[in-house]
Structure 1
Amino acid sequence: MHANIEKYDNFLSSLCGPSSSTWTKAQESVLLEPYTYITANPGKKVTEKLVEGFNLWLNVPKDKLAVVKRAAGLFHNASLLVDDIEDDSQLRRGIPVAHKIFGVPQTINTANYVYFLAYQELSALRPKVQRHTCDSSVGPDSRLTNDSPAAEKPYFSKRLISSHDLDFIVIDELMSLHHGQGLDILWRDTLHCPTEDEYVQMVKDKTGGVLRTIMKIMMACATTNTNVDYIPLSNLIGIYYQIRDDYMNLQSDQYTDNKGFAEDLSEGKFSFPIVHGILEQPENQLIMNVLQKRPKTPTLKHHAIEYLRNTTKSFDYTLAVLKKLEQQAREELERLGGNPILTALLDKLHVDA
């Protein structure tokens, strides 16, 4: 008989009573290593700029805005960890992707864990309903929360999004994100080219998912302009950003340094210029054949890019679309009263022909 076997004699009784976690900081640090790795090399901080910009209108209290920013970072970087695995990417922000260092299983687990950390972070924003004595003059719509002054009660002011809806917001938008990502993967793996409208809708779900989550949470916590709908502008910026990213992936030397040369072709991805090129001359199978090969060397990539540039004029078309979307975004900024931070962001993202 082993000496330690007696410790299991009354094991059930040790499981009773209040649970106490044995989880340590060292274990937490190891679990988060892929996340710590990707965040140690920050990107363009576009999401952070969007939060700051929209807050010029919404004036979210500082403590709540800090929560929103932390949650935004958690959601965004967790989604990148998963995205890099699903795309079999090699580089992110100029360095090897996390799963090539820490392995796919650990990186998936970390990304999922970080999603829940973000959700836990947002719990600080959920209203706590105060209990009241029975009073026939007080209706159910006039209950106060301990984090809102009387002037912000839903009964007295029009608020498009209530802080009571935070759980539904997060769940709905994370579902949208996964809907979009699922279609993107399905098209790639079945070599099915979507229509341009289908692609734009996918981008609205996928790229817009995290941004809309943060946008709606900010609107729920806003102290000004609580009845203004900023979601259409948020969607427009998200779609503009993704189409721009698609263009730059095939055209920009900076993107080559950060993600590799024309990585979308290596991933077999149906990006915006690629979709246009295929649909512009559907009888020509050149691009479909290149995508099927998932080329890693430059030769086929250069050939496909020249075809998109000179034969189907897909880069010219993409630039024309970007110009239209950017113009509409700037007009909407002006209609909403102007916003120097978001205007500066559009200036930075502007792509010259």
Structure 2
Amino acid sequence: MNTLIKDISSAERDWSAHISHNKLGIPVSAVYIMMQTQDVPISQAKKLVERKCLELEQQFLRLSWELLENSDPMIREEAARYISALQYLIAGELSWHVGSNRYRLDPSDPFYPKPEYKLSDFPQDTRGLANSVQAEWSGFESRSNSPDLPGTPVARSKSINGFRDGSRTNGFHEESTAYESNIWLEQSSELSEEIVLKPFEYISSQQSKKISTQAIQALDFWYNLPRRSLDIITSVINMLHSSSSILDDIEDSPSARQGNPSTHLVFGTPQAVNTANYLFVKCLQEVQRLPHSLSAIEIFTDEIANLQLGRGYNIHWTFRSASPSVRDYIRMIDGKTGSLFRLAARLMKAEATQNKDLNVDGLVTLMGRYFQIRDDHQSLSLTVQADTPSLDEGKYSLALIHSLNNSNPSDREQLESLLLLRSRQGKLFPEQKNLVMKILARTGSTGYTVKVMERLENEIEKRLESVEATIVGAERNWTMRAIMEYLRVGRSP
């Protein structure tokens, strides 16, 4: 019935569209099948299809009553509600198709079919008819707006495809013919990246000073890079951070970042994705400018692969509503977040002018874990107070994973159901978020997350002291400690 209703409503537009777009054969529609098999005009074919719709409606009602009479009393009310919804669906489809401008066609349209038209009136050479009608239509418009007398050649000034009709020879002006222009033989200049970088400039202006940039300054206390190398690595990490933020917002669908519209909601998803991809390429170009470029490229591709693998696992779990194990969650963080910290550290080690053998990969990987867990914990803590999109995004935080693994069967079932509903609804309502937070409280998952962060803080301090001990005469790295203190204070709202 839905299909036939659409076919009836779109019959005239199908006729016009088929001709004007130079399509072969006849439109794929029940109306045109009826015209072909019954040899009737389009108006009669529409009535025959309407009659078939009424037959289907009677059959639908009969089957519905039979179903309700024979159904179990326990489910009869639910079945009646479902059938009622189907009836509203059909009525809604009919109302929409009859009143929609999508299928309306102005009778003055040059290809509007007359009610008495049969398929024999349908043009066999639609291309020729379309061109001739369009030419006649354009000529009529020109004549109606021209003071020229009948029989006088019409010198139209209307521009078509950039050429004036009155100045064309064989369809083109000889001096303006595009394919004869020297422009095709000239060396063109390179495209400017200004337009492509607009989304990057937007998100960069919205972001406060990044922890990754501060970490580079702290690492430089040990490695003492040349200024040029330090600037390149800082630029690369900033671009990668922005690229990841743009893609995160597209994947997680939050409407805002730090109170401003997400980048893809300002520039559109296609341009945002293109900019994020271009930033990866631009980063590689920047890495090639480093003095030790061969080792830098190897480091860059290695950690970018880790970054994309981590993102991929995070997306997979969110899409499937499948909770990872704690071990897999840690591995994902080491890729998605830790890769940027390690990339900065490894590039700096390759460009170092002092302490060239100093390896801090373990230290910065722990910092990446701490940063991500702290960020998820902070967002989750604000969920009820400020209705943040943390739970709407569908990502699995450490608290959610712990709660799913440590709740009683009833709470676990409710939590899993809420996460599935989030994927279907696209978000959770405040009442649903409240229930999630209550379950997390019952399983002590928030407290568990805080204890994990405290353990990471202690281990990072030990690793930091161990690194300092390997450097003869080195002072304490207060910049690194300031970063950890900042994160520690800001881990709870």
Give the TM-score of the pair, scaled to structure 1.
Answer: 0.81
State whether residues 212 and 340 of structure 2, in contact with CA within 8 Å, keep that contact through their aligned partners in structure 1.
no
Q: For the residues of structure 2 that align with 1:326 and 1:113, how far apart are their CA atoms?
A: 36
Per the alignment, residue 445 of structure 2 pairs with: 314
Q: CA deviation at 1:44?
A: 4.3
| CA separation of 1:83 and 1:166: change in aligned 2, threshold 3 A | same
Q: For the residues of structure 2 that align with 1:5 and 1:208, how far apart are their CA atoms?
A: 58
3-state DSSP of counterpart to 2:446: helix
Aligned mate of 1:46, from 208, 211, 214: 211
The one-letter code matched in structure 2 to 1:95 is: N
Q: For the residues of structure 1 that align with 2:387 and 2:277, how far apart are their CA atoms?
A: 29
1:265 maps onto 2:391 in alignment = yes
Q: CA deviation at 1:252?
A: 3.7
Aligned Cα root-mean-square deviation (Å) = 2.2
The one-letter code matched in structure 2 to 1:205 is: G
3-state DSSP of counterpart to 2:206: coil
State whether residues 246 and 273 of structure 2, in contact with CA within 8 Å, keep that contact through their aligned partners in structure 1.
yes
Per the alignment, residue 247 of structure 2 pairs with: 82
Aligned mate of 1:293, from 398, 421, 437: 421
Per the alignment, residue 336 of structure 2 pairs with: 206
Q: For the residues of structure 1 that align with 2:338 and 2:259, how far apart are their CA atoms?
A: 24
Q: For the residues of structure 2 that align with 1:11 and 1:188, how far apart are their CA atoms?
A: 54
The one-letter code matched in structure 2 to 1:342 is: M
Larger deviation, residues 115-124 vs 173-182: 115-124
3-state DSSP of counterpart to 2:358: coil
Q: CA deviation at 1:264?
A: 2.5
Q: For the residues of structure 2 that align with 1:175 and 1:187, how far apart are their CA atoms?
A: 19
Q: For the residues of structure 2 that align with 1:120 and 1:20, how far apart are their CA atoms?
A: 22
Q: For the residues of structure 2 that align with 1:96 and 1:330, how far apart are their CA atoms?
A: 37
- In structure 2, stretches of 5+ residues that fail to align are 1-170, 469-475
Larger deviation, residues 202-211 vs 279-288: 279-288
Q: For the residues of structure 2 that align with 1:32 and 1:185, how far apart are their CA atoms?
A: 26
1:299-325 per-position Cα deviation (integer Å, ceiling 9, x unaligned): 11122112102x110011000000000
Per the alignment, residue 140 of structure 1 pairs with: none
Per the alignment, residue 101 of structure 1 pairs with: 266
Q: For the residues of structure 2 that align with 1:62 and 1:86, how far apart are their CA atoms?
A: 36
Per the alignment, residue 110 of structure 1 pairs with: 275
Pairwise mapping of residues 222-261 of structure 1 onto structure 2 (< 5 A)? Answer: 222-252=352-382, 261=387
- Ranked by relative contact order (alpha carbons within 8 Å, sequence separation 6 or more), the top structure is 1
1:14 maps onto 2:145 in alignment = no
Q: For the residues of structure 2 that align with 1:102 and 1:321, how far apart are their CA atoms?
A: 39
Which has more radius of gyration? 2
Identity of aligned residues (%): 30
State whether residues 266 and 291 of structure 1, in contact with CA within 8 Å, keep that contact through their aligned partners in structure 2.
no
State whether residues 269 and 291 of structure 1, in contact with CA within 8 Å, keep that contact through their aligned partners in structure 2.
no
The one-letter code matched in structure 2 to 1:333 is: L
Q: For the residues of structure 1 that align with 2:208 and 2:402, how far apart are their CA atoms?
A: 28
1:222-277 per-position Cα deviation (integer Å, ceiling 9, x unaligned): 11111111111110000010011111011148x97xxx634231011111111111
Give the TM-score of the pair, scaled to structure 2.
Answer: 0.59
Q: CA deviation at 1:5?
A: 6.3
1:339 maps onto 2:467 in alignment = no
Question: How many residue pairs get matched?
Answer: 307
3-state DSSP of counterpart to 2:208: coil
